[in-house]
Amino acid sequence: MSNQFDVVVIGSGPAGYVCAIRCAQLGLNTAVIEQNVAESSQPLLGGTCLNVGCIPSKALLDSSHRYAEAAGHLADHGIGVGGITLDIAGMMARKEKIVAQLTGGVSGLLKANAVSVITGSATLNAGRNVEVTSPEGEVSTYTADHIVLAAGSEPAAIPPAPLDGDRIVDSTGALCFEEVPGRLGVIGAGVIGLELGSVWARLGSEVVMLEAMDQFLPNMDEQIAAESGKIFAKQGLDIRLGARVTDTEISGDGVSVTYTHKDATHQETFDRVIVAVGRTPRTDKLFSADSGVTVDERGFVFVNDYCATEAPGVWAIGDIVRGPMLAHKGSEEGVMVAERIHGKAAQLNYEVIPSIIYTHPEVAAVGKTEQELKSEGVDYKVGTFPFAAIGRALASGETDGMVKILSDADSDQLLGAHVVGPSAADLVQQIVIAIEMAASTEDLQLMVFGHPTMSEAVHEAALAVDGRAIHMVNRPKR
């Protein structure tokens, strides 16, 4: 293998491997470097998302939802089920099989596109020289016209709850429990905490979520966040806001957690505790001081709108740069950077990146929230429609939640959409397309939506913006 490439990508997660493949498609001699290795000593491709994040968590979310349906909800459909058993080992084996299939797929795609895969820990030095230390300790140097940093992120830690890998774990450890905890504490009620808490609550855990912030899902639309909180509480998630953890102590088979709430100190005991307080960029030791790359106080790499760093020929994408830590955001940044390296004027519309919480029901959003529009002084219109009035939702027994659409009061331009309910992730994607195509609310109103479908809630919410919803009584607009 040559040590000189057109492009070297450091990191093989959704941002890195997508960038590498697109670079190769454009005719660029490309290598991708991955530091993690499997038990077979082969590079562990796919990053956090495929190995210990998006994919395994969604596999467990799906399995746990099916178990909960069989154990407690099929009777509503006239289906009697007896003798339900829970095989955690089998559930975990299914998860691992899915992960192996997808990571193997990434390996096949890189090979098919003639991307060289280098295993080892990489550091970018001056002059776009990349020093790679193999798992065996051998050091090699690679150079390229362009370097793309895509090292990803890792779970954030907090001093009051040090991980022990057994009783107190991060999100990775929470995907590998061998039994259902009788009582589970989750520190953090954000996206990761809600998804993992939902998995184990469905399987029988009593779940208590301790969230330091006073507001639930502060980045979501306030109305949708409030509705989501009600649904999760009904499902049995005990979410305590303004609860700041100050200490944890492992004793015997349990964990004692001390936290403050409303100027009082409280203590709870759990069988296991998950620390889910966010993620931090993995930029430590990624580049040397003379590389020309700089970071902010939180460790995120400084980049411009096109993901170029301050060092010529060096780019950074995905979780290590500004913006939401979302696999799809990183992937599209990877494509944009590959295109720009090849000389194309590619760009990414950061205003139209959907965010999703894969609970059941799902919570999804794109664009502006109502509180953002208020703070910006935008004159806007709003329309909401409940799934309880949708025939398909009633037939499926999934009536919780709503669709909310926001548009400009003067131009009628779509500004945002927020959904909590069945198929929210797929429904909000319809609005992503509409906003990207500069559609108006009237455009949605004039479209024909299939019946009976969940997507009719999108149509009705668009109609409700102008007080024209058909399947509910319209409230007078103020």
Q: Work out the burial of residue 101: count CB atoms within 10 Å of its CB; fewer than 13 is exposed, 13-18 middle, 19 or more buried.
A: exposed
With a cut of 70, which residues of the chain have pLDDT below it? 1, 477-478
Answer whether 22's CB lies under 8 Å from 339's CB: yes
Considering the domain 361-465, what is its CATH architecture?
A: 2-Layer Sandwich (3.30)
Tokens found for residue 14: 């959704």
- What's the CATH fold of domain 168-277? FAD/NAD(P)-binding domain (3.50.50)
Pick the CATH number of 4-154+280-350 from 3.50.50.60, 3.40.190.10, 3.30.565.10, 3.90.850.10: 3.50.50.60
Beta strands of 159-313 (E only): which ranges? 168-169, 183-187, 206-211, 238-241, 244-251, 254-261, 264-270, 272-275, 279-281
Task: Indicate if 361-465 has the same CATH topology as 4-154+280-350.
Answer: no
Distances (CA, A) of 475 to 90, 174, 391, 457: 51, 45, 21, 17
Contacts of 420 (CB under 8 A, 6+ apart): 224, 227, 228, 231, 361, 362, 363, 364, 400, 401, 402
Residue type, 302: F
Report CA torsion sign: 468, 472, 473, 474. negative
CA–CA distance, 99 with 59 (Å, rounded to integer):
9
Give the pLDDT of residue 476.
77
Q: Which residues are catalytic?
A: 451
SS3 137: coil
CA–CA distance, 349 with 464 (Å, rounded to integer):
27
- Quote the DSSP letter at residue 437: T
Answer whether 37's CB lies under 8 Å from 70's CB: no
Question: Per-domain residue ranges for the chain?
Answer: 4-154+280-350, 168-277, 361-465
- Quote the DSSP letter at residue 320: G
Cα maximum dimension of the chain: 72
Q: How far is CA 35 from its chain centroid? A: 22
SS3 123: strand
CA–CA distance, 53 with 360 (Å, rounded to integer):
18
Beta strands of 97-173 (E only): which ranges? 116-119, 121-125, 129-133, 139-149, 153-155, 168-169
Considering only CA atoms, which of 258, 334, 280, 270 is closest in space to residue 303? 334
At which residue do the structure tokens 């102008």 appear?
Answer: 466
